[in-house]
């Protein structure tokens, strides 16, 4: 998981994050999650840049609803992004709870049933 401090320099983070994502240019499934303190429900230039970086590395967002609701503020700052997964096999969940000011973000991945081959020996 990744945690970006709210007051960290966003340009510096985006630059390093882009380099970090370059390491995952493989065919294996990758999940990136954490509290990024970037509200993807906003349409500002830094949010668009962040989402474009993820898209350029073929990551898809699984959490697109509110993950933190405080007073008059509702934001989506806790993210789960995936790469190289069948989208139909993913079940993202935002679990609302009163333990913290953030909601839990969960992803259930259905790998399907493993097929087995059974053989019978028939003696005659």
pLDDT in tens, 27-71: 888 999 999 999 999 999 999 999 999 999 999 999 999 999 998
Whether residue 105 contacts residue 80, with contact meaning beta carbons closer than 8 Å, is answered with yes
For the ranges 58-62, 65-69, 74-78, 108-112, which has the lowest average pLDDT? 108-112
Q: Which of 61, 122, 115, 70 is nearest to 96 (CA)?
A: 70
- Beta-strand pair 78-83/2-3: unpaired
Q: Provide the CA 39 distance to its chain's centre, in angstroms.
A: 13
Question: pLDDT at position 8, please?
Answer: 93
Domain boundaries, the chain: 2-109
Q: What topology does CATH give the domain 2-109?
A: Deoxyribonuclease I; Chain A (3.60.10)
For the ranges 1-15, 70-84, 100-114, which has the lowest average pLDDT? 100-114
């Amino acid at each position: 998981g990744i945690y970006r401090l709210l007051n960290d320099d966003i340009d510096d983070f985006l630059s390093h994050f882009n380099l970090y994502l370059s390491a995952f240019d493989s065919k294996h499934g990758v999940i990136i999650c954490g509290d990024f303190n970037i509200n993807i429900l906003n349409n500002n230039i830094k949010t668009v840049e962040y989402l474009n970086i993820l898209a350029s590395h073929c990551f898809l967002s699984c959490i697109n609803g509110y993950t933190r609701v405080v007073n008059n503020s509702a934001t989506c700052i806790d993210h789960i992004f995936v790469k190289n997964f069948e989208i139909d096999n993913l079940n993202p969940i935002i679990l609302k709870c009163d333990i913290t000011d953030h909601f839990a973000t969960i992803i259930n991945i259905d790998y399907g049933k493993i097929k087995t081959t059974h053989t019978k020996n028939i003696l005659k």
